[in-house]
Structure 1
């Protein structure tokens, strides 16, 4: 069997891998390798027909990719007890690997092996929590180049970001993609907590006109950059502000992608035209699903003399033990 690989520019590696995977020709049994200062070799099982690349080559001595972190750590002499304390999951965001290490011994060694597993990645970050009024991430470099600025691609949407400065929740991928599916062309949307464009970008790419508000200066910088990167600057009105200051907004849909979104329902309802839809996020204990988020939304609407029709309730991901990140979709008359 011929060991084929396509040559692509390094900045496009992560996006091209996703395209090759979608086409069904990416060979994850071999490692990504550097071709020269500008190009990398991405292994493929056959010549791609739908994915753009510079050239196709045949590799004479490709490096085989290990697919099991535990096996790599065992080769390093790790005991079974130490391996049990190693992380079992991680996220690749562009060229950065995000890992929560907890009480894992020797994180640097784990980081080195994760870079071996993911040849397109350059940096491994230890992931802590999110804190402060600007929702700033607590991260530290444990392996690799230390470069934390990257471009991450999901379903065709490009997110430029610096993971030292802004948060990115890999577990929200399905919800980000979904928001691009639910909007209609030319629909007016208010994204109250836009961040770097998590929901704004998929909606704008789908044809919606989005008023995107973000008060974190670092996130706002990337929000503006990402509007250009995705060729939708004409569909995004970006404001660096507190969303409660946006008194003149009138829209058909409001997105509230913030765990304490219920505290901002007065602003959301004031912006939402009759018959419009609100998407309210929050973290809810298992034993309060779905009573707490629904009652919060209904109570706020009734205070404004408005009726609520619950359209959908969804669990996005586990937030902590016994607590879920959820979304309530509702039509407000």
Structure 2
């Protein structure tokens, strides 16, 4: 029986009014509620707590706000403490769901990236958040060093906690805007896990890179812009910074709106005249 049908049976509300999915983060469930469901949020959330005895809190997610992509979340039932520990791919992530985004839509991309990293690599994660990419790479690869840069002080605090929680030694957390950060050594691989407007940060990404290395470029594009516009942006930035660029892989990570996609492109970048 589907989640939606179970909710209907528990609440007596019509199927069409109920959410069809949910996101579990640690011992918290996040749901999106509209119309009649929003008006019946207490009944729905209490039903969810009955359906999942191990869940302590139910929240409604209403959107994302600001440059640091902070969630707009309302606690609607259960424990008022919204700090939880989420487990993924053998990693632990501590966060407050009312202050920090954690997208299940990026799950496969986090897993995929781990498989790309070779032994001895130096990596710069330009938008590290609470360690979404960096923690998994550090725990599951033989990367030499990961510089995890984060601008948001709240996310940075959880990043440091998660490094300790996972007993990781090869991540260097750096607080600040990646455009202002100075890193002494050049990187084999750059992770640009941020959107929208990621193209603004390409010159910074290239400045962190060795004469030859990989950039994982994330951004949002309309369907009719794929894949011409992102390639033009990448080539423009590469040319201005004396690099050539070759796309190794391109993929849609998830849909973020009708005909609008979060995409990633793996790009091999080489400094011109580099052999």
Q: Structure 1 length normalisation: TM-score?
A: 0.76
- Find the partner of 1:273 among 210, 228, 240: 210
1:157-236 equivalence runs, <5 A: 157-205=91-139, 206-208=141-143, 209-232=145-168, 234-236=169-171
Q: Distance in 1 between matches of 2:83 and 2:22?
A: 18
In structure 2, stretches of 5+ residues that fail to align are 271-275
Aligned counterparts of 1:271 and 1:118: Cα–Cα separation in 2:
46
* CA apart distance, 1:317: 0.7
Runs (5+) with no aligned partner, structure 1: 1-65
Does the aligned pair in 2 maintain the 1:207–1:235 contact within 8 Å? no
Count residues in correspondence. Answer: 264
Structure 2: distance between partners of 1:200 and 1:286 = 29
Aligned residue number for residue 98 of structure 1:
30
Q: In the alignment, what sits opposite 1:251?
A: 187
- The runs of at least 4 consecutive aligned structure 1 residues that moved more than 4 Å come to none
| Residues 277-298 of structure 1: per-residue CA shift (max 9 Å, x gap) | 0001001111111111121111
Displacement after TM superposition at 1:67 (Å)? 5.6
Partner of 2:70: 136
> Does residue 253 of structure 2 align to residue 316 of structure 1?
yes
Q: Is the radius of gyration larger for structure 1 or structure 2?
A: 1
How far off its partner does 1:71 sit? 3.7
Q: Secondary structure at the match of 1:243?
A: coil
Please give the root-mean-square deviation of Cα atoms over the aligned residues, in Å.
1.5
In the superposition, relative to structure 1, how do residues 75 and 212 fare at CA in structure 2: closer, same or farther (>3 Å)?
closer
Q: CA deviation at 1:76?
A: 3.1
- Once the two structures are TM-superposed, the CA of residue 101 in structure 1 deviates from its matched residue by 0.9
Is the Cα contact below 8 Å between 1:285 and 1:322 reproduced in 2?
yes
The normalised TM-score by structure 2 is 0.92
